[in-house]
């Protein structure tokens, strides 16, 4: 099984990364492969609602960093969406990434994939409810299975290491794959 971790945090080595690494390490112990992409390293522009993905090949025609990500998404069995909570939702790059999943509504290539949400929030898991609802509804629309989430209270770099329940849950989800 191949896992694609899409990281929407600007902080490499931060809480989102640490939680995701716990999940990927546990999955790797079961022989699964994984790769991690950082959205802040990619130039992905917002969807312009041109609707080209609704015609012909049912693919996005925009020429940006998503062109490289679509094949990686297609290859993955599991997608881990890792983002800190910014103003009760995902970071801007993660929201743009999710908007750009629009072609999968028509071409159905996201159907059957499994999705896990990893999200630290300074105010804690209760502030992740809107983000989790957005990801769950996106999965339902795209025919994916929402496998669950790992939510934690974490603000400063490394805070999540004190959140043993969240780190354990991340590893447990990774082992369950």
Closest CA to 16 of 102, 99, 86, 97: 86
Q: How does pLDDT run across 87-114, given as a tens digit for each residue?
A: 899 999 999 999 999 999 999 999 999 9
CB-hemisphere CA count at 13 Å for 68? 10
CA angle 151, 153, 7 (to 5 degrees): 55
C-beta contacts of 55-64 below 8 A and 24+ residues apart: 57/107, 58/103, 58/106, 58/107, 59/103, 59/107, 60/100, 60/102, 60/103, 62/100
CATH, domain 2-176, list 3.40.50.1820, 3.30.365.10, 3.40.50.360, 1.10.3470.10: 3.40.50.360
> How does pLDDT run across 13-54, given as a tens digit for each residue?
999 999 999 999 999 999 999 999 999 999 999 999 999 999
Q: Which residues of 138-161 are buried (b: 16+ CB within 10 A; e: fewer)?
A: bbeebebebbbbbbbbbeeeebbe
pLDDT tens, 100-153? 999 999 999 999 999 999 999 999 999 999 999 999 999 999 999 999 999 999
Is pTM beyond 0.85? Reply is yes
Report the alpha-carbon distance of residue 141 to residue 121 in Å, rounded.
26
Q: Do 121 and 87 contact (CB within 8 A), yes or no? A: no
Mean pLDDT of the chain, nearest integer: 97
Tens digits of residue pLDDT in 1-15:
999 999 999 999 999
pLDDT at residue 151, as a whole number: 97
- Domain borders along the chain are 2-176
Q: How far, CA to CA in Å, does 101 sit from each of 30, 35, 41, 58, 140?
A: 29, 19, 18, 11, 13
| Residue 13 phi, psi (nearest 5) | 80, 5
Question: What pLDDT, on the 0 to 100 scale, is given for residue 103?
Answer: 97
């Amino acid at each position: 099984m191949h896992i694609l971790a899409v990281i929407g945090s600007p902080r490499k080595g931060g809480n989102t990364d640490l939680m995701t690494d716990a999940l990927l390490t546990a999955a790797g112990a079961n022989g699964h492969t994984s790769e991690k992409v950082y959205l802040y390293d990619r130039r992905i522009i917002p969807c312009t609602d041109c609707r080209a993905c609704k015609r012909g090949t049912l693919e996005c025609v925009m020429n940006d960093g998503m062109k490289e990500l679509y094949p990686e998404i297609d290859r993955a069995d599991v997608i881990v969406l890792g983002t800190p909570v910014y103003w009760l939702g995902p970071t801007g790059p993660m929201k743009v990434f999710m908007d750009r999943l629009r072609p999968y509504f028509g071409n159905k290539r996201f159907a059957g994939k499994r999705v896990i949400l990893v999200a630290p929030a300074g105010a804690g898991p209760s502030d992740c409810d809107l983000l989790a609802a957005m990801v769950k509804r996106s999965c339902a629309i795209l025919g994916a299975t929402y496998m669950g989430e790992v939510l934690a209270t974490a603000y400063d770099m490394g805070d999540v290491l004190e959140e043993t329940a969240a780190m354990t849950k991340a590893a447990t989800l990774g082992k369950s794959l």
